Amino acid sequence: MPDDNSTSLVNLGDLSKPADTLIKKVSSAIGGVFEPWQIKRVAKAEAEASLIKAKSEIEITDLHRRAMHRFVEEEANRQENMEEITKKSIPHLKEESTPEGMEDDWVTNFFDKSRIISDGEMQSLWAKVLAGEANAPGTYSKRTVNLLGDLDKKDAELFQSLCRFGWIIGNFTPLVFDPQAEIYNRAGIDFSTLSHLDSLGLIQFNFISGFNRQRLPKNFVVAYCGQPLALTMQKDTDNELAIGNVRLTQAGRELSSIVNSPGVDGFVDYVKEKWRAYLPTPENS
């Protein structure tokens, strides 16, 4: 583990106003854990004081010492995790960020769930959630934070794979027309993995009838990885467009905003074939 000063947020140098406000907000919400003296030192001092006090009351056994040592090390590790997540969130803050608007209960719950996260990639996901909430308080619900706390790294990677098939159709929408198709299977998306993401609460998976986007105008534009595609529907108003077997839940929609997944080669042509009837001429000729 790095020494006490290596991960301290007070060593970050000059901070922008949003970053400074965020650190103060986090410190206030969870008890000043980002004050200059890290909890590792505080915990050790408190542990030593407890041992001295206990010596006058009971005889300290090796078991007591091991338990106290474990407690100190666990708290130090959790502190380091919280600081790393906060540090990684700072580059994602916007100038107009308003961390002061974050609810204390939300911040407390966030760090209660994230303090055990030591994997660097998972910390980066948590950091984006923290920054996103600071940029626009109310963006991420407690339920979404709790769901993220239940995800392991493989779950997160699987969700990222699904998001590789996401189009902008008003909002972010993964298009899965056939879970048995090779284009999905190559990316690890199939009936089993989609059922798993459904059980986690990230998506709704309907293999039988699928989902439609309703009340669409005659002409509109969708996009995949920044590449626009114009569609022309049959009626002037109140059109429907099939969007496949997957629909994101609220938590899935919120978490999709922090996912940066590369597109899939050939997927635009695959979707065009599914929507061939709506492509304007000359593509529809």
In a domain, 21, yes or no: yes
In a domain, 76, yes or no: yes
Residue type, 56: S
As for how many domains the chain has, the answer is: 2
CA distance 270 to 163: 16
CA distance 245 to 208: 8
Same domain, 77 and 140: yes
Q: How do residues 38-70 score in pLDDT, each as one tens digit? A: 445 555 556 666 666 665 555 567 777 777 777
Same domain, 180 and 116: no
In a domain, 269, yes or no: yes
Same domain, 106 and 223: no
Structural domain for 40, as ranges = 9-150
Same domain, 158 and 146: no
Same domain, 129 and 116: yes
Q: Are 114 and 149 within 8 A, CB to CB?
A: yes
Same domain, 142 and 131: yes
Point out the residues of the chain with pLDDT beneath 50.
Answer: 1-11, 13, 36-39, 283-285
Last residue of a domain, one of 150, 167, 189: 150
> Using only C-alpha atoms, what is the Rg of the chain?
24
Last residue of a domain, one of 94, 128, 150: 150
pTM over the 0.95 mark: no
Given this model, what pLDDT does residue 49 score? 62
CA atoms within 13 A on the CB side of 196: 15
Same domain, 119 and 203: no
Same domain, 114 and 188: no
Same domain, 182 and 115: no
Same domain, 116 and 202: no
Last residue of a domain, one of 106, 125, 150: 150
Q: Report residue 4 as tokens.
A: 């006490």
CA atoms within 13 A on the CB side of 103: 9
Same domain, 162 and 256: yes
Q: How do residues 193-233 score in pLDDT, each as one tens digit? A: 999 999 999 999 999 999 999 999 999 999 999 999 999 99
**Number of Cβ within a 10 Å radius of residue 169:** 19
Same domain, 142 and 159: no
CA atoms within 13 A on the CB side of 18: 23
